[in-house]
Amino acid sequence: MPPTFADLGVPDPLVRALAGRGITDPFPIQVATLPDALAGRDVCGRAPTGSGKTLAFGLPLAARVTNAAPKRPKALVLVPTRELAAQVRDELEDLLAPVGRTVHAFYGGVGFVPQLAALRAGVDVVVACPGRLADLVQRGAVRLDRVDIVVLDEADRMADMG
C-alpha cells in the first residue's frame, strides 16, 4: 500500500486541507521529497509538468514557515515567469491559509504599489521573479536576511534564461 500524506509526515491541518480538495494520494515526487523537506533538509527534485512538484515544496513550506516581520519574509520561492509566479501563489495560498500564513507574488509588468504595500504589511512567503525581486531589494522594500527557506522552481529554465 502506498504511503499517505500523513505517513510522510505532513501535519494534520494540511492533510485535512488536501483531503478537502480531493487530494489524498501523494505523487512519486512527493513521496521522494516530503520526509526530508519536512525535516528541514535540502532536496532537489526533477519531474515533468503536472507531477505534483508544487505540493512537494509547498507542503514543507506551509509546515515550516513562521510569521514574517514587515519587509522581511521567512521563505522565498524564485520562479522564471509571472505566469508561474501567479500559479504558485494560488497553490500556496490554499496550503498556507490553514496554518495562518501569507503569500504574495512579485513580478514585473504590474505596478509596484500593491507589492510594496504587501511587503510593508509583512508577507511570510514571497514568490518572485528574479528581476522584480532584485528591484525590490535595490529599493530597500524587502530584505532577505531572515529568509529560512528558499525554493528554486524551474531552476533549469531560469539558468537557460540567464
Encode pLDDT of 4-43 as tens digits. Answer: 999 999 999 999 999 999 999 999 999 999 999 999 999 9
pTM higher than the cut 0.85:
yes
User: Within 10 Å of residue 115's Cβ, how many Cβ atoms?
Assistant: 22
Report the pLDDT value the prediction gives residue 106, as an integer from 0 to 100.
97
**Cα 64 to Cα 23: distance, rounded to the nearest angstrom:** 20
* 49-66 burial code (b ≥16 CB/10 A, e <16): eeebbbbbbbbbbbbbbe
pLDDT in tens, 92-116: 999 999 999 999 999 999 888 999 9
Query: How far apart are alpha carbons 137 and 114 in whole angstroms?
Result: 16
**Residue 99: alpha-carbon gap to chain centroid:** 14
Question: Which three cell numbers mark 2?
Answer: 502506498
| Structure confidence at residue 49 (pLDDT) | 81
Amino acid at 61: L
Q: What average pLDDT does the structure give for the chain?
A: 93
Cα separations (Å) of 141 from 6, 56, 107?
38, 29, 14
